[in-house]
Amino acid sequence: MRFAPFSVRWWLQDRSTGQMVIAQRPNLILCLCLAGMAANFFFNDVALLLIVGKAFWLGFAADEFLRGVNPMRKVLGIAVATLTIFF
């Protein structure tokens, strides 16, 4: 597909199948991220949980950036990594 950044199809189309992909079924890394968020909510004074939670989010971001099927998922990976590092 040609470069068309103002086209919704360009942002959401899977390059290998041609299907539109907005969300996929949850994966293990995302489940670990959500579990880490819950653990940080209930045990917010534990520094190790914060570090492990951030590591899970960075893993999720790297997975989306490296294996994302469309530009939207790659940008999602960059955004999650940026937010995780700076906040």
pLDDT tens series, the chain, 87 aa: 688 889 999 999 998 999 999 888 888 999 999 999 999 999 988 999 999 999 999 999 999 999 999 999 999 999 999 999 998
Query: Residue 72 in 3-state DSSP?
Result: helix
pTM: 0.89
* pLDDT of amino acid 54: 96
Q: Which residues of 4-27 are buried (b: 16+ CB within 10 A; e: fewer)?
A: eeeeeeebbbeeeeeeeeeeeeee
* pLDDT of amino acid 44: 85
Contacts of 78 (CB under 8 A, 6+ apart): 61, 65
